[in-house]
């Protein structure tokens, strides 16, 4: 089976429609969405309507949660103060325009979707707000996959696509310290695990404005990171016309990898 896995549409209907056409051309069997249907982009209601019309299994993203529960539902929603200020502007606008039925839909989205040995989340199994960056410590990365009880963990949230393989092997578990109860060393043997980040359809940050998503073939276990050009200028114009901050159009047009330096580059959720 060929899965098309996409994430972070962010109200960018133009990018979403273009990606859907590419998915159709690739003859995918299933589409799974990793959330963040709204936020930053000018068409939140239209994107949700399209997802619902296609009956796409979708998990709840951090933006989807924040529109329902209020901004900063998690204290570590943003990696920097600058990102938080910009997020506040986008949240206020989005919160005003989303329809009640859209808000209700976002509120009932599950946090995880499973298909066999595949697990689909927005940020991580811990939280929609946690960033699983490609340089994340290997032990922590492996723990996140194991906690999902999966062989392959699909995530988004970073807006930067990648595939990371955590090789077969053993991990030694040892407890030490003056107050620790003496325990023998334990070995945990794991098979090959993978984290696959789908990037972002609607607000890519890998250095180009092209939309990204991933196609995963369960038979060959091949992950194809797709990069799809679209007319981003239409979305940029709509961002400005709808009164959203112009910086969002500027960032979208460049596919900026990071619009600001993160205060905490690991950005692990502690809740």
Torsion of CA 5, 118, 129, 18, to 10 degrees: 0
Distance between CA atoms of 56 and 164, rounded to whole angstroms? 25
Positions of the chain with pLDDT lower than 50, given as ranges: 76, 169, 259, 261-263, 265, 270-271
List Cβ neighbours of 162 (8 Å cut-off, separation of 6 or more). 134, 195, 196, 197, 225
List Cβ neighbours of 178 (8 Å cut-off, separation of 6 or more). none
pLDDT for the residue 17: 98
Q: The pTM is what?
A: 0.87
pLDDT for the residue 69: 87
Determine contact, residues 161/201, Cβ cutoff 8 Å.
Answer: no
pLDDT for the residue 259: 46
User: What rounded mean pLDDT belongs to the chain?
Assistant: 87
């Amino acid at each position: 089976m060929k899965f098309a896995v996409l994430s972070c549409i962010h109200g960018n209907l133009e990018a979403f429609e273009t990606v859907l056409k590419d998915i159709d051309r690739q003859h995918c069997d299933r589409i799974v969405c990793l959330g963040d249907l709204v936020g930053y982009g000018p068409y939140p209601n239209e994107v949700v309507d399209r997802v619902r019309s296609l009956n796409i299994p979708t998990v709840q993203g951090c933006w989807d949660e924040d529109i329902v529960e209020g901004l900063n539902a998690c204290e570590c929603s943003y990696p920097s103060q600058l990102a938080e200020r910009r997020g506040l502007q986008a949240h206020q606008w989005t919160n005003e325009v989303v329809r009640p039925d859209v808000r209700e839909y976002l509120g009932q989205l599950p946090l995880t979707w499973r298909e066999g040995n595949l697990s689909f989340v927005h940020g991580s199994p811990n939280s929609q707000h946690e960033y699983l960056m490609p340089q994340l410590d290997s032990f922590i990365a492996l723990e996140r996959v194991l906690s999902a009880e999966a062989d392959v963990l699909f995530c988004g949230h970073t807006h930067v696509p990648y595939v990371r393989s955590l090789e077969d092997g053993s991990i030694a578990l040892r407890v030490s310290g003056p107050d620790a109860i003496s325990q023998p060393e334990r070995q945990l043997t794991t098979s090959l695990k993978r984290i696959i980040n789908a990037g972002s359809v609607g607000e890519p940050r890998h250095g180009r404005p092209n939309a990204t998503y991933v196609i995963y073939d369960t038979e060959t276990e091949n992950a194809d990171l797709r990069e799809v050009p679209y007319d981003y200028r239409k979305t940029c114009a709509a961002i400005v016309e709808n009164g959203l901050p112009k910086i969002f159009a500027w960032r979208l047009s460049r596919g900026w990898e990071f619009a600001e330096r993160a205060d905490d580059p690991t950005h692990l959720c502690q809740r």
